[in-house]
Structure 1
């Protein structure tokens, strides 16, 4: 069951939502979400929010899927999290920007376990909380249809407890990431280009015993597209992905796509 209240009072907007989940296997849960936005003048505004959430164990978490290898844990509890967020925003004519800071805590996180004496895997709730915090910056600028530019940057500090209970860097979470993109239209031509950056990450190598934490290098991804409207509703286009043919991995041992070039015709009837 959910209930939500919204209000606008001049330069202030508020929102409050309450959700109640009733379970037959788990303890019932009530979570809330609240947000507030205030326009302070001259294009500036401030915003803040607080949210809670839960995630139930999956069928495989509870009951497993292969008795000789992975055994489920029917005693699992749902994960639960809460997050605070605050931001400063600016919007004036064709330019906008924002700076946001956030902090999150995750409790009862469902993790995989391994018993070296039986060689059986299972699941369990983590006894201590994992935490995430960071900042996000965004800006955009427009010259009408001819050119639109946007850029964003994210700094993430994510940690999780290790076997000894101390905090270590969470796997596959880059501290630094960002992107810049531009697109526009002139007469019958549409065009766009983008460049994204993903910083180095930590991953786990399970192909060795005991398993080891390894570093995945940072990478840049570039892309571009160009289209030409032959007639109303018919467009020829070409685009390239991973234009610099970067060799990278988002997860250890999983290959990613190299440079790819596409071309075709797009039909949009009625446009």
Structure 2
């Protein structure tokens, strides 16, 4: 199989192919430090996906872009809409915090309090920032593995708009539009997205399934901001998505239907003054979710979850080399289902972070967080990191970070267990160290990172006793390799490779659904006339589907081809072939994956 990987890798590099290209240079990111900071000053690895990346790769689902990043693997039990998990460095899906415009969208009604990516499309977002590794001090519970922030466009003085429509395999139709600009003193961003298709069978068609499982998704987003007075501003926004889908039993076709609905809203008051040395924000956010699994025989199971959060933070830079961030948060979560269960909990948090730059090129950071959980008491966690860009422009950047994490059991897990099997909170300690080397006159970047995370009391499900339990100790360590080149003599290159050793320390077994090796390679070429052609290669290593390591799922190799051409300055046509060699594979045992499929579309920009 590895000879096959190498041959396909060579083929992909030998032809003109498109790729996801993270922002190269020294971009400003927000998610890693909760304030604007240059990437070269941040001690943790951060991946940035831009609007240009999303359009170049013709991505439709959020996982389409996340799967291309180092340290990230995807596990999906079927096609669009079906349960889909994202593992960052082997951490559980519920151990990574998911944000939209900085507002938490993890679902308290979810089994682990995580976020199901199965129904999330990418068209309404302008940018994605992914922080690799523990971010618990700044972002709190659920950020043991990392943070994923989906960001919508910010309005500018001049109105801009874009729209697209595409059609393809199994009658899949996709349309979306967005616009942003100023309406008098108010900046506005509006967007919407629709996706519908016949889909594939959730139970693998290659195992004999004959019934397709269709889906439909609708989403909308809005944002408004206004300057109230010099230095004072306000902004508010919301996001809504609803996905309907059909699903099967584990080993047979079935006529089950499901629904997922996510709604969030937020509002902020902001202040910036003293020559931008002082900034402050007070905010409110609410996330409301609804999940329906309507079994054709036993009827529906419905869960509702809600998070309400008040938060405030102040950032102050008394001198050029020092910045202090202080913040406080209070969050209340509620959960209910249609069988009469109802529960709630809350957590109050306080955090502080100090950033210190003793001389040019060196940035050091350290922080503390105090959490007071209504059910599990108080915890204090610590984090430290540093970035050293030595030697001036074009020189390497060394990075290192350490972070601790704390995550209480979800309301669903507590309700399911009742008083029969008490659960303890999950805790973690994580390290990473890496080097980044710019090349190709600043248009390229190569990074190599080693990481190691130890987790205590990981919560897992015991199928024999029908309850959740604490595993004890797990460890995830490995290496991330990434190389990105943007617009070098018409070429763009993206490569990411992850080696992951994720195990239960007590038993020695590998954690379920985490591939040991994961590779993505892409290369694209754009000619002066505007024609863009390319392909990408995705290699997913084998993985165990269960924690006992008795059911092994073989690895896979998938190749995609695509092209686009600008008909005018504002209109572009595009098309792609996914899984070009019709690879037969599974990611979750017995669940289907798409075969060879083709799509064509039109994109308009104003």
Q: Output the TM-score relative to the length of structure 1.
A: 0.84
Note the C-alpha offset of 1:71: 5.9
The residue aligned with 2:532 is 190
The residue aligned with 1:24 is 374
- Kept in 2, the 8 Å contact 1:200–1:218? The answer is yes
Among candidates 427, 431, 434, match of residue 87 of structure 1: 434
Structure 2: distance between partners of 1:7 and 1:212? 46
Note the C-alpha offset of 1:32: 2.4
Q: Structure 1 residues 73, 230: closer, same or farther in 2, change over 3 A?
A: farther
The residue aligned with 2:415 is 63
Structure 1: distance between partners of 2:557 and 2:352? 44
Among candidates 441, 448, 453, match of residue 104 of structure 1: 453
- Kept in 1, the 8 Å contact 2:537–2:560? The answer is yes
Structure 1: distance between partners of 2:590 and 2:419? 26
Q: Does 1:44 align with 2:396?
A: yes
Structure 2: distance between partners of 1:156 and 1:176? 6
The residue aligned with 1:244 is 581
Structure 1: distance between partners of 2:508 and 2:387? 34
Q: Does 1:33 align with 2:380?
A: no
- Paired residues for 1:72-221 under 5 Å: 75-92=422-439, 93=441, 94-115=443-464, 120-126=465-471, 128-144=472-488, 146-161=490-505, 165-186=506-527, 187-204=529-546, 213-221=550-558
Q: Deviations over 1:126-151 (max 9, x none)?
A: 2x311111111122334536111121
Note the C-alpha offset of 1:7: 2.7
Note the C-alpha offset of 1:10: 0.7
- Kept in 1, the 8 Å contact 2:421–2:467? The answer is no
- Kept in 2, the 8 Å contact 1:131–1:158? The answer is yes
- Kept in 1, the 8 Å contact 2:567–2:573? The answer is yes
Structure 2: distance between partners of 1:86 and 1:172? 25
User: Bigger shift: 27-36 or 100-109?
Assistant: 27-36
Note the C-alpha offset of 1:250: 1.1
Note the C-alpha offset of 1:212: 6.8
Note the C-alpha offset of 1:74: 7.1
Structure 2: distance between partners of 1:256 and 1:202? 17
Note the C-alpha offset of 1:110: 0.7
Partner SS for 1:14: strand
Partner SS for 1:171: coil
- Kept in 2, the 8 Å contact 1:72–1:122? The answer is no
In angstroms, what is the RMSD of aligned CA positions?
Answer: 2.2
Instruction: State how many pairs are aligned.
Output: 251
Q: Output the TM-score relative to the length of structure 2.
A: 0.39
User: Bigger shift: 259-268 or 181-190?
Assistant: 181-190
Runs of 4 or more consecutive aligned structure 1 residues displaced over 4 Å after TM superposition: 70-74
Note the C-alpha offset of 1:73: 5.8
Q: Structure 1 residues 56, 73: closer, same or farther in 2, change over 3 A?
A: farther
Higher helix share: 2
Note the C-alpha offset of 1:114: 4.0
Among candidates 403, 406, 411, match of residue 54 of structure 1: 406
Q: Structure 1 residues 192, 52: closer, same or farther in 2, change over 3 A?
A: farther
- Kept in 2, the 8 Å contact 1:73–1:124? The answer is no
- Kept in 1, the 8 Å contact 2:356–2:365? The answer is yes
- Kept in 2, the 8 Å contact 1:229–1:236? The answer is yes
Structure 2: distance between partners of 1:214 and 1:80? 28
Partner SS for 1:196: strand
Note the C-alpha offset of 1:30: 1.9
The residue aligned with 2:308 is none
The residue aligned with 2:593 is 256
Note the C-alpha offset of 1:204: 2.6
Higher strand share: 1
- Kept in 1, the 8 Å contact 2:421–2:468? The answer is no
Q: Which has the higher contact order (CA 8 A, sep 6+)?
A: 2
For structure 2, the 5+ residue unaligned runs are 1-349
Partner SS for 1:258: coil
Structure 1: distance between partners of 2:453 and 2:591? 29
Partner SS for 2:462: strand
- Kept in 1, the 8 Å contact 2:512–2:549? The answer is no
The residue aligned with 1:208 is none
Structure 2: distance between partners of 1:90 and 1:56? 39
